[in-house]
Amino acid sequence: MELRLSGMRWYRLALGLAVVGSFMWTGYEYLGGDGTLELHYYFQTKPAAISLFGPSGRALDREQNKSNGETYQRIVNGPVYTDVTLPGAYDSVTVELEYQNPSQVLVELGIKLSDDPALFDYRMQPLENKLVDNSDWSRLENDQYIFLQRTPSYTSIEEFLANPPTDSKGGSYLVSPNLAYVDPNYHAHTETGSTITTTLRGRHEFYLYAADENVSVQFTVADINYAADDDTVRLFLYQQDQLVAEASLADDGEVGITGIASGERTVALQLDNAPAGVYQVVFDTTDDLIITQIQSDQERLVVAKSIHLAGTEEYRATGSTLNTTPTTLHTDSNWLTVIAKHTAGVADVATYDRTLHINKVDTPYTWTNPISNFAHDVTFPNNDVLVLSDSYFALPGAEAFDPWFGLRPISQYTNPDGLEYVISGHYDPPTRVRTWTTARATFDLTGIEQSRPNVLQFIVSAPGLETTSLGLKVRSITVTAQQHPITVSYLWQKITQ
């Protein structure tokens, strides 16, 4: 009897250890103890660790194909978002999507860098670019680039980089090559140059073109003292990412918030015997600085992608010299986003195809160009607006030119029929089996806010998706998170650190 009781105790002990061991192993696997945690979602059940795409309206409810039982979720507009819940912090994560994409050129995936909902801070990775993946154009590759040509005229990528075309349109993807453009039709007219009297506020970037001449750019500025910070001006002149000249102007010395402008002062850049090419001018300062005039020996001078028009009665009380006449910008941008900075900026803005009604302050209003890269003029009757775009702005008093000579990042606005070449970085292209595409992107989680439990937010972007009725059909999401394996030595190292 005693022996049987002892045996029963051993049996219960063994059974208990097995149960505890099973729970510990399950927990170890869930926590990715071996360094890898893999999650799958096939849209068959209510989501758990991987959420459905949202918001509703951009992503439809789960659907099922009655003929074969397949389940999926359809994305009909973008961007859409999904959350992935991990048990803790990881070093990296790979997300794999299996989807049908009958019409979209670009599909990208991004991860949010912080948990601040007010910030649109996503690190994007490519999933698919049909313009690069499916092209039957002439193809050249090296360790850094993929180069496609509709009509082959370059025999190497190095030849293209050294002598890019100035009379044809191209698309770039994943790279922003600063090319050595030389315009054979340019003739310097330093005796006339350019004089811009449009009033601007704050930091701006400019491009100019010069060829075997002295480059000179002078800014006349005033400090309006709306804030108590230091208002030093720093000027930088670059050619192909190389700093070739710089200058600075110290703060006016007023430390208080007075709203009264200091007297006008000037700061200038000079480069003698500048070789032919495009030059970038960075005017770096705070919003307390008003630019009242720009003078240059170069006729070709444009603003890049963002401009703050400040010729408005809002700043009249500061005593600044203001040009309050309506400002006409010349641009070939595919879109414009306009933000009124004060009530004076609330106005109707006429574009060549419709009127953009700016009704509220600090609210973005966007116009889309119906013709890709069609050059046009747009007039802002009251100024007092921040204008954003994907291209240049030419101001009265200077000659318009395209500092990228027809090369633009590939986006939903890109018309493939208008391109003669594509320059792209390398990425892992998707695989395709029949109508289904499998694509993946890996993200280094270093510097990304993580907690326990760890909720990561992802964004799927397919620009222009709203223009088609087909959408994207996603039938599976696989998430693979990687970390250092949980071993005794690793735990001891963590404990003793």
Beta strands in 170-258 (DSSP E): 170-173, 194-196, 200-201, 204-210, 213-223, 233-239, 242-249
pLDDT for 87: 92
Domain residue extents for the chain: 1-30, 36-126+428-482, 194-404
- Tell me the average pLDDT across 84-113: 94
pLDDT for 1: 44
Task: For residues 325 and 330, give the distance between their C-alpha atoms in angstroms, rounded to a whole number.
Answer: 16
Task: Compute the chain's Rg from CA coordinates.
Answer: 29
- Tell me the average pLDDT across 275-282: 96
Q: What is the per-residue pLDDT across 138-160, written as a single tens digit (0 to 9) for each?
A: 999 999 999 999 999 999 999 99
Determine contact, residues 472/465, Cβ cutoff 8 Å: yes
Determine contact, residues 458/121, Cβ cutoff 8 Å: no
pLDDT for 287: 94
Tokens 């400040």: give the residue: 310
pLDDT-derived band at 28 (thresholds 50, 70, 90) equals very low
What percent of the chain is helix, strand and coil (3-state, nearest 5)? 15, 45, 45
pLDDT for 398: 96
Core vs surface per residue 130-165: b (16+ CB within 10 A) or e: bbbeebebeebeeeebbbbbbeeebeebeebbeebb
Longest dimension (CA), the chain: 116
Q: Is the pLDDT of residue 486 over 70?
A: no
Residue 169 one-letter amino acid: K
Q: Is the pLDDT of residue 14 over 80?
A: no
Q: What is the per-residue pLDDT across 206-262, written as a single tens digit (0 to 9) for each?
A: 999 999 999 999 999 999 989 888 899 999 999 988 999 999 999 988 878 888 888
Task: For residues 211 and 276, give the distance between their C-alpha atoms in angstroms, rounded to a whole number.
Answer: 4
pLDDT for 328: 97
Q: Is the pLDDT of residue 93 over 70?
A: yes
Task: For residues 462 and 80, give the distance between their C-alpha atoms in angstroms, rounded to a whole number.
Answer: 9
The region that residue 14 occupies, defined by phi over 0 for left and psi between -120 and 50 for alpha, beta otherwise, is alpha
Determine contact, residues 184/435, Cβ cutoff 8 Å: no
**Structure tokens of 303?**
């603003």
26 by DSSP, 3-state: which? helix
Tokens 């449009």: give the residue: 198
Q: What is the per-residue pLDDT across 428-441, written as a single tens digit (0 to 9) for each?
A: 899 999 899 999 99
Q: Is the pLDDT of residue 25 over 50?
A: no
User: Any idea which architecture 36-126+428-482 has in CATH?
Assistant: Sandwich (2.60)
Q: Parallel, antiparallel, or unpaired: how do β-strands 348-350 and 431-433 relate?
A: unpaired
Q: Is the pLDDT of residue 395 over 80?
A: yes
pTM: 0.80
Q: Is the pLDDT of residue 495 over 60?
A: no
